[in-house]
Amino acid sequence: MKTPAALFALALASVATLTAADPLKELSAASKAIPTTPSPRIKRVGIQPAPSVSPAPKPVATPAPYRPAVRRDGRRVVALDIGHTAAQQGAYSARGRGEFLFNKDIVEALSARLRDHPQIAPFIINPEGIPISLPMRTALAAKNGAELFLAIHHDSAQDKYFSAWEFEGKPQRFSDDFHGYGVFVSDKNRQPARSLVFGKLLGAEMAKAGFEFSPHHAEPVRGENRAIIDNDRGVYRYNDLIVLKTAPMPAALLECGVIANREEEARLRDPATHARIVESIVAAIERFFASEPAAPR
Ligand SMILES: [Zn+2]
């Protein structure tokens, strides 16, 4: 287990590597070294036609192809992102438990399930839940050669759906209006088609396991308005989700269920539910790797 300081050093090193490898930055550094104004000692001869100048080609912002790790045991690395941090838990459940703890439960159960998997090698991005930026999460996934990125979250609802209640003598807020999971993918991911393939497989496996899709993020109000790409499988498009758009590998985010809902929260704390979610995710990853060729190595 790495210390937070070691994790930070690793994260910073990986960001430095990415920066140095940026072809546009190298191009602009190189262009600074070349003088662009002619030397004053060189005179132009007036009668000669000016050479035809074709406009300089615009730099194309094509990132270098991403190559996932090749492991000696042949297992393909899947980066598992525990949504939020220990200090900033994300949403709160109807009984006042932080979302980060729910996310951690699932990622730890998933990682344990995959420990001896013959094809899939799990990599937990930020196991201690220290404060790290969203782009650093995907930089760490890339640094560790992940072929797939999965962010685990638990869902809530808009403020207008909440009511007050008391649990164990403490005032809490709940919303029983919604329940169910949701899968998110981004068109701005570097591999959007493969991300969508994985998102649909994940949604299909969740539905097959008996979980229901919650379409509440499609409500046409500020803060929602998410387009549903696939209603049967429960897949939304959310282009500007930072982890999805900065991941160089296919990526999806799973909202496992709505912890603001009192009944659903109780279900989501049950290890039997964790196991059903974990098995759905494992089946989706297996189908994804079986159906998609490995990225160029
Ligand atoms: Zn979250």
| Domains delineated in the chain | 76-291 (3.40.630.40)
CA of 41 to the centre of ligand 1 (A): 64
CA distance 273 to 133: 30
CA distance 286 to 179: 27
CA of 42 to the centre of ligand 1 (A): 64
CA of 98 to the centre of ligand 1 (A): 10
CA of 2 to the centre of ligand 1 (A): 24
CA of 212 to the centre of ligand 1 (A): 18
Any residues with CB less than 8 A from the CB of 141 and at least 6 apart, and which?
79, 81, 123, 125, 149, 247, 249
CA of 217 to the centre of ligand 1 (A): 13
* pLDDT for the residue 145: 97
Q: Is there a contact between 149 and 138 (Cβ–Cβ < 8 Å)?
A: yes
Any residues with CB less than 8 A from the CB of 31 and at least 6 apart, and which?
none
3-state SS, residue 274:
helix
CA of 294 to the centre of ligand 1 (A): 30
Q: Which residues surround ligand 1, an ion (CB under 5 A)?
A: 83, 90, 153
Give per-10-residue mean pLDDT for the chain (297 aa): 47 40 34 37 44 63 83 96 98 98 98 97 98 98 98 98 98 98 98 97 98 98 96 98 97 98 98 98 98 63
Q: Is the torsion defined by CA of 69, 237, 202, 192 positive or negative?
A: negative
Any residues with CB less than 8 A from the CB of 297 and at least 6 apart, and which?
67, 68, 70
CA of 99 to the centre of ligand 1 (A): 7
CA of 84 to the centre of ligand 1 (A): 6
3-state SS, residue 89:
coil
Of the candidates 145, 105, 165, the residue with the CA atom closest to the CA atom of residue 129? 105
E-strand stretches of 11-161: 76-82, 120-124, 148-155
CA of 100 to the centre of ligand 1 (A): 8
CA of 297 to the centre of ligand 1 (A): 33
Q: What pTM does this model have?
A: 0.80
CA of 289 to the centre of ligand 1 (A): 26
CA of 179 to the centre of ligand 1 (A): 15
CA distance 23 to 27: 6
CA of 256 to the centre of ligand 1 (A): 10
CA of 137 to the centre of ligand 1 (A): 14
* pLDDT for the residue 65: 85
* pLDDT for the residue 41: 44
